[in-house]
Amino acid sequence: MNQLCGLVAEILGVDVGEVNPETGPLVLPPWDSLNHMRLVAAIEETYCVQLTTDEITNVLSVSDFATLLRERGVRVD
């Protein structure tokens, strides 16, 4: 989970200490629609996965991204 939180922090331009599994667009202002798509692209590239449109639109937290990765067999520490 640390790697995923670090990636989210990097894309959103915030300190990694501001990001935890419950972090999402409702609590972190930089997580807007444009940055959401940047997150999706970075996660797909970093973890070699492809998310569906439904999955992309339903993600509300770092934990949601982690769940999607685990469903694809990606180990998320």
In the chain, what are the domain boundaries? Answer: 2-71
Return the DSSP state at 14: S
pLDDT of the residue at 77: 80
pTM reported for the whole predicted model: 0.94
pLDDT of the residue at 65: 98
Return the DSSP state at 17: G
Q: Could you give the dihedral angle defined by the CA atoms of residues 39, 23, 21 and 33, in that order, rounded to the nearest 10 degrees?
A: -20
For the domain made up of 2-71, give the CATH fold. 1.10.1200
Encode the chain (77 residues) as per-residue pLDDT tens digits. 999 999 999 999 999 999 999 999 999 999 999 999 999 999 999 999 999 999 999 999 999 999 999 999 999 98
